[in-house]
């Protein structure tokens, strides 16, 4: 589906979308629980729906109550085939949980997920007594347990998602476990994982993100799980306001473990006006200036902050490009291709992206996001400061994380 975004000013108020990252972790906790879990304020993104389908494959009954989701106790036999869609988190997180079972289970992916590595999974699972096979380090992955406890070493440089799965699964086995992690990326996501696990009554000892001590024989239970609002999705609208107007977003938790809340500090450093209270955050356009930031632990902020940098006169520097190569696309290369021009230039030097920006409008263009939801959203925001608009190809890819993105954008825009 093609979507045309015209030059516009923005003004208004929206509710932040629910976090698919919290939602998927809540589903994992519910699957591991003995009883019923009610998930309030759920995300119904494609990634979240894939995780809910996996809950059904685990034999759970899932009830959609409109403003909540109930995952009931295990009723049916476990299915041997899980479809994770394009969700890297679902594939890497649910593999260790599936490995708790005696039966053989295959976790599959589709489209972009088929090209995302899972080579870090095989050896640690085998060391925990699991039979494990992949397609030369790529999906699908087949596991057969039951997984045991023990001491293992894992590489966390590509993704923290497999560690998240181990942290969920290992507290339920009969013996204690120790996980040693080398070069852990995306540490805030591990904070989120441990926070969610704690809400289900399970404890994990984190020793400086290098060693995790896990007691066995723990039980999961959480009658009501509230999904946090999503800082990552909200970041696109904060940037939209910084370059094209003003917006108020409600529902975000200023004390959240989500690393993407660093967007507020970054916008302040770039010169945007920020006003915040316990319930709302308002961002408004002011004279912008270039900024420098390291996004190694928060790579999902790359697309919106590249758009911000395009309209900051001078050179902005963003570190963490290497983290973009194992996402839904090679985001660094796509950002370079889709947003560079004679007036505004993107340059990649090893792990650094330099953005030479200015306050001029962008020329009209067609954005091909390569089915990457965050590239599509970035293109839509950049279009607000264009001469005659952008055409966003396959715009429905935003459904992966933020199905109501364009609806929210339409609510707050007024054409120039």
| Residue 72 pLDDT | 93
**N-to-C CA span, the chain:** 24
Burial group, residue 218, by CB count within 10 angstroms (0-12, 13-18, 19+): middle
20-214 CATH, one of 3.65.10.10, 1.20.1050.10, 3.40.50.740, 3.40.50.2000: 3.65.10.10
Taking Cα atoms as reference points, which of 336, 54, 249, 291 lies closest to residue 168? 54
Question: In whole angstroms, what is the distance from residue 39 CA to residue 331 CA?
Answer: 32
| Residue 77 pLDDT | 87
| Residue 180 pLDDT | 98
Residue 416 has pLDDT above 80, yes or no: no
The pLDDT-based confidence of 326 (bands split at 50, 70, 90) is low
Max distance between CA atoms of the chain, in angstroms, equals 64
Q: Which of 16-30, 146-160, 323-337, 346-360 has the lowest mean pLDDT?
A: 323-337
300 is catalytic: yes
- Each residue's pLDDT tens digit, 145-178: 999 999 999 999 888 999 999 999 999 999 999 9
Task: Specify the CATH superfamily of domain 3-17+229-415.
Answer: Enolpyruvate transferase domain (3.65.10.10)
Contacts with 277 (C-beta within 8 Å, 6 or more apart), sequence order: none
| Residue 328 pLDDT | 58
Residue 75 has pLDDT above 70, yes or no: yes
pTM: 0.95
| Residue 329 pLDDT | 62
Name the phi and psi angles at 12, rounded to 5: 150, -165
From 53, 260, 300, 372, active-site residue: 300
- Each residue's pLDDT tens digit, 14-48: 999 999 999 999 999 999 998 899 999 999 999 99
Residue 54 has pLDDT above 90, yes or no: yes
Residues of the chain with CATH 3.65.10.10: 3-17+229-415, 20-214
Burial group, residue 76, by CB count within 10 angstroms (0-12, 13-18, 19+): exposed
């Amino acid at each position: 589906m093609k979507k045309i975004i015209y030059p516009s000013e923005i003004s208004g108020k929206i509710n932040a979308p629910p976090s698919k990252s919290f939602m998927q972790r809540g589903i994992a906790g519910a699957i591991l629980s003995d009883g019923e879990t009610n998930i309030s304020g759920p995300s119904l993104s494609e990634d979240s729906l894939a995780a809910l389908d996996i809950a059904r494959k685990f034999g759970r009954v899932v009830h959609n109550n409109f403003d909540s989701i109930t995952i009931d106790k295990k009723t049916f036999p476990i299915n041997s085939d899980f479809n994770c869609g394009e969700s890297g988190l679902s594939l890497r997180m649910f593999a260790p949980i599936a490995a708790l079972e005696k039966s053989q289970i295959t976790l599959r992916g589709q489209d972009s997920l088929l090209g995302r590595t899972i080579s870090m999974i095989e050896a640690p699972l085998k060391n925990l007594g699991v039979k494990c096979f992949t397609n030369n380090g790529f999906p699908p992955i087949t596991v057969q347990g039951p997984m045991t406890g023990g001491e293992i070493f894992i590489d966390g440089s590509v993704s923290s998602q497999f560690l998240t799965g181990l942290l969920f699964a290992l507290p339920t086995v009969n013996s204690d476990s120790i996980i040693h992690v080398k070069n852990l990326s995306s540490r805030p996501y591990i904070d989120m994982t441990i926070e969610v696990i704690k809400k289900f009554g399970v404890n994990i000892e984190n020793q400086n993100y290098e060693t995790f001590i896990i007691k066995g024989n723990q039980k999961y239970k959480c009658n009501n799980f509230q999904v946090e609002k999503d800082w990552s999705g909200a970041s696109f609208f904060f940037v939209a306001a910084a370059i094209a107007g003003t917006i108020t977003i409600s529902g975000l938790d200023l004390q959240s473990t989500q690393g993407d809340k660093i967007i507020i500090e970054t916008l302040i450093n770039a010169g945007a006006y920020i006003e915040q209270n316990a319930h709302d955050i308002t961002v408004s356009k002011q004279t912008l200036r270039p900024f420098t930031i390291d996004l190694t632990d928060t790579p999902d902020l790359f697309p919106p902050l590249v758009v911000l940098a395009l309209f900051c006169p001078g050179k902005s520097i963003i570190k963490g490009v290497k983290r973009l190569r194992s996402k839904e696309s090679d985001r660094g290369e796509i950002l370079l291709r889709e947003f560079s021009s004679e007036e505004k230039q993107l340059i990649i030097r090893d792990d650094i992206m330099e953005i030479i920006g200015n306050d001029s409008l962008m020329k009209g263009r067609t954005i091909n996001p390569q089915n990457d939801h965050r590239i599509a959203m970035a293109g839509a925001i950049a279009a607000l400061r264009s001469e005659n608009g952008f055409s966003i190809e396959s715009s429905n890819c935003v459904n992966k994380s933020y199905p109501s993105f364009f609806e929210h954008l339409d609510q707050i825009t007024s054409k120039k």
